[in-house]
Structure 1
Amino acid sequence: MNNISTVEVAKEKLDQWLCNGTVAPGAKLPSERELGDLLGVKRMTLRQALLNLESESKIFRKDRRGWFVAQPRFNYNPKSSASFKLAAIEQNRVPSWGFIEKSTVADYPAIVEPLFGEEPHHPLYRITGWGALDNHKVFYHETFINPAVAPGFIDKLGDLSFSQLWENEYKKKLNIQKLAFRPTRISGDACKVIGGSAGTPIILVEKHRADNNKNIVQIDIEYWRFESVDFFINL
């Protein structure tokens, strides 16, 4: 049997375990050494079979923790006014989230320059956080806000949602003016927070939020685990 067919046989056996529910969604697979022994294949063959299943979003890796069975994919409409919490509950998922850092930064990516409009550049508010489904972190976000438009935003945020604070404190109801999606690879803070291995493929979502005068006042950069989500937009 050649190497390609051996990889396919190992993949089919693993896939059958997943389909039969031998390992539940979200559960950890046995170690690669144990899997190799169970399947009677060499480590390189097993690794290729695992990578093939990862590319099909059936399993995923957590850095230094091993392989896990993918959970059901989250249906996410990034233009919807429904919050992540409400959307998750509607899909019978258990959502959780948290902020990591709220700070003022003078060093920021060029992607957020639309926040300035015609103003000179100056420090911005940067808020980082994460979202999870069924105790599994599925995205990391960076949010940038112009302090000139929303003075004291990071001090007033607390545990409120962004939309709550904008409406209650600044009397602004925001609309999404621009959405951009692109595949990339995980690194840096996102890698640490959502537990991926360096270089793991992820989906970057860039959102520009504007007030009723179409002034961009908030830019979100979200990094989603690619096996965790299906994006859709109702037209």
Structure 2
Amino acid sequence: MDNVSTVEVAKEKLDRWLQNGTIIAGAKLPSERELEELLGVKRMTLRQALLNLESESKIFRKDRKGWFVALPRFIYNPKSSASFKLAALEQGREPSWDFIEKSLVSSYPAVVESLLEEGDSGELYRITGWGALDNHKVFYHETFINPRIAQGFIDKLGHDSFSHLWEEEYKKKIVTQRLAFRPIRMSGDVCKIIGGSVGTPAILVEKYRADSNKNIIQIDIEYWRFESVDFFINL
């Protein structure tokens, strides 16, 4: 097997191609076989060089499609009340999004059980969807809401933001009360939605949203592609 220095040489050459624009942001890299020939290295050496660049958020994988050059990172304040659409447009990006499923469920992660109160049926609204920047899907989300607090929420949601519906229909202004972050590897289910291979690095964000009385009324679980986002919070 090639030694580490050979891996570093391959990585540095690839990195130069990225920095000088030989391969532009969002573009697909040549196939691994082509890269082996261009760099004059063996498959294992190339794979390690690619994984090193992936860990530095310079490239990313799409399942069955190959390697791509990372797009500019989205600057994301998860505590902000601004919508994903507005934040993206302010950064000169082209946002798109869609909902996948809106349903009433009785099976859900333990972290969302705090939405329930004594006497509730045990069912929650579950809304799943994805968000994309410049036609590249960067996150998948699952949102949970107690139907007792917001009856008919999934029927009224349409294509509006959650915040807009809370304010217009239920007269509630919601704020992010608590956040939790942790690095994970994407599961097969998430990969099917936003691309990537099983085990692709991702960041899990749990957002607990509250009304003006500090009651948690919505919990979002978001899975962000590792290379796509930088988080910040103003204190």
- Please give the TM-score of this superposition, normalised by the length of structure 1: 0.97
Q: Shift in Å at residue 179 of structure 1?
A: 0.5
How far apart are the structure 2 equivalents of 1:41 and 1:152? Answer: 59
Matched, 1:184 2:184: yes
Counterpart of 1:230 in structure 2 is: 230
Structure 1 unmatched runs, 5+: none
How far apart are the structure 1 equivalents of 2:39 and 2:122? Answer: 58
Q: Shift in Å at residue 189 of structure 1?
A: 2.7
Counterpart of 1:197 in structure 2 is: 197
Q: Shift in Å at residue 120 of structure 1?
A: 4.2
Task: Indicate the RMSD between aligned Cα atoms, in angstroms.
Answer: 1.2
Residues 108-167 of structure 1: CA deviation (Å, up to 9, x unaligned): 010101101444451110000001000000000000000000010001111111111111
SS of 1:206's equivalent in the other structure is strand
How far apart are the structure 2 equivalents of 1:156 and 1:10? Answer: 53
Residues 164-206 of structure 1: CA deviation (Å, up to 9, x unaligned): 1111111111011110101111014311111010011100000
102 and 140 in structure 1: CA distance in 2 versus 1, 3 angstrom threshold: same
- 1:224 is aligned with what amino acid? W
Q: Shift in Å at residue 2 of structure 1?
A: 5.5
How far apart are the structure 2 equivalents of 1:165 and 1:100? Answer: 18
- 2:182 is aligned with what amino acid? R
Counterpart of 1:147 in structure 2 is: 147
Counterpart of 2:52 in structure 1 is: 52
Counterpart of 1:33 in structure 2 is: 33
Q: Shift in Å at residue 79 of structure 1?
A: 0.7
SS of 1:72's equivalent in the other structure is coil
How far apart are the structure 2 equivalents of 1:152 and 1:49? Answer: 51
- Greater CA deviation, 100-109 or 186-195? 186-195
Counterpart of 1:112 in structure 2 is: 112
212 and 119 in structure 1: CA distance in 2 versus 1, 3 angstrom threshold: farther
- After superposition, residues 166-185 of structure 1 pair within 5 angstroms as 166-185=166-185
- 1:11 is aligned with what amino acid? K
168 and 19 in structure 1: CA distance in 2 versus 1, 3 angstrom threshold: same
- 2:135 is aligned with what amino acid? N
Counterpart of 1:123 in structure 2 is: 123
Counterpart of 2:75 in structure 1 is: 75
- Please give the TM-score of this superposition, normalised by the length of structure 2: 0.97
- Check whether the contact 2:188–2:197 (CA below 8 A) recurs between aligned residues: no
SS of 1:141's equivalent in the other structure is strand
SS of 1:227's equivalent in the other structure is helix
Counterpart of 1:13 in structure 2 is: 13
How far apart are the structure 1 equivalents of 2:53 and 2:168? Answer: 46
- 1:36 is aligned with what amino acid? E
How far apart are the structure 2 equivalents of 1:234 and 1:121? Answer: 38
